[in-house]
Amino acid sequence: MSKVVLLDAGPLGMLTHPRKNPEIKQWLQNLLRSGCIVKVSEIADYEVRRELLRANRFQGIQRLDLLKVTIGFVPITTEVMLTAAELWALARRQGKPTADNKALDADVILAAQALLIRQQGRETVIATTNVAHLEQFVSAQIWTTIN
């Protein structure tokens, strides 16, 4: 079965600015050619989209929409949110919170999405620009190291 690569907001944001980040477009094409399944996380879409909207970056929004249609996305479901709540509580019990107690904490939502994919028997890794908060729950790597 093919590895599933779930895009975090860092790499996803870079993909909405291909002229500034040509290396990530090539990276994505190489992953897809190698048979990896690459998906946009809905929580990462939210993080990137809100900034694109704030900055009136309409071409970036179009690129984001096209990417979701082209490679697909992992939606936020009730199961994802229930799992994220468990991860949030676990992180705090262990003294390793990933965000302020009042924050939505996108990292645990993203980790929950990846964890649920992995529980279906699929090798899963989150492509990110910062592994620190994610790696306590699931496999996460700096995007350039995933091939």
- Asked whether residue 95 is assigned to any structural domain, the reply reads no
- Give how many domains the chain has, as a whole number: 1
Say if 123 falls within a structural domain.
Answer: yes
Range of the domain at 134: 4-75+114-145
The answer to whether residue 107 sits within a structural domain is no
β-strands 124-128, 4-7: how paired?
Answer: parallel
Give the integer Cα–Cα distance in Å for 108 and 90.
Answer: 10
Which residue's structure tokens are 């490679």?
Answer: 71
Specify if 85 maps to a domain. no
The CATH number given to whatever domain includes residue 62 is: 3.40.50
Per the domain annotation, does 88 fall within a domain? Answer: no
Closest CA to 15 of 79, 76, 59, 80: 59
| Predicted TM-score (pTM) of this structure | 0.94
Assigned domain for 125 exists: yes
Residue 24 lies in a domain: yes
| pLDDT, one tens digit for every residue, the chain (147 residues) | 789 999 999 999 999 998 888 999 999 999 999 999 999 999 999 999 999 999 999 999 999 999 999 999 999 999 999 999 999 999 999 999 888 888 889 999 999 999 999 999 999 999 999 999 899 999 999 999 999
